[in-house]
Amino acid sequence: MGHFAITRRDNMAGKKKPIKGAVDSAQQLWTAGVGAITKAQEESNRVLENLVKEGHEIQERTVKFADQKVVEVTGKVSKLAGSVSSKATQHWDKLEQVFEERVARALGRLGVPTNKDVQQLSERIDQLSAAIAELTGKKVDTKAPAAKRTTTRTKKSAE
């Protein structure tokens, strides 16, 4: 048992006597324990500081990475939205053109003149007005109001 025994019994007297150096050993153990605790606290503080530092670095890298991904995704979404918008506009334009053609055909079947017909008629009126002015020597006003037009509708018999 050596060092750690603090007392021993003397067979003759039955008295307890301190073992030489036991107090010194206890003092050394106590001091070593205090030193170990102090060292452990210092190391734990150092480890904690390093962990905090590494945590901040990881957080900064993560934020930068996330920001880059947001920019990339935003660009892709904008490009996709532009593409979808372009296709929708093309389809809408095509639909509008089909609608205009059908309306023009329906108006043509009803006898309503087209813009082209009206333009040709207007040009012909200008030509005739110029010819009249040349023959009579007077200038003819081509901006006179148009005469009221009356139309008659005929009912088709249901055969």
- Going from N- to C-terminal start, the domains of the chain cover 17-134
- Which residue(s) pair with 16 in the sheet? 9
Assign 56 a pLDDT band (cuts: 50, 70, 90): very high
pLDDT digits (tens, 9 = 90+) for 113-143: 888 889 999 999 999 999 999 898 876 665 6
> Would you state the pLDDT for residue 159?
43
Rounded to whole angstroms, the Cα distance separating 47 from 53 reads 10
CA distances from 37 to 41, 93, 152 (A): 6, 82, 114
108 pLDDT higher than 90: no
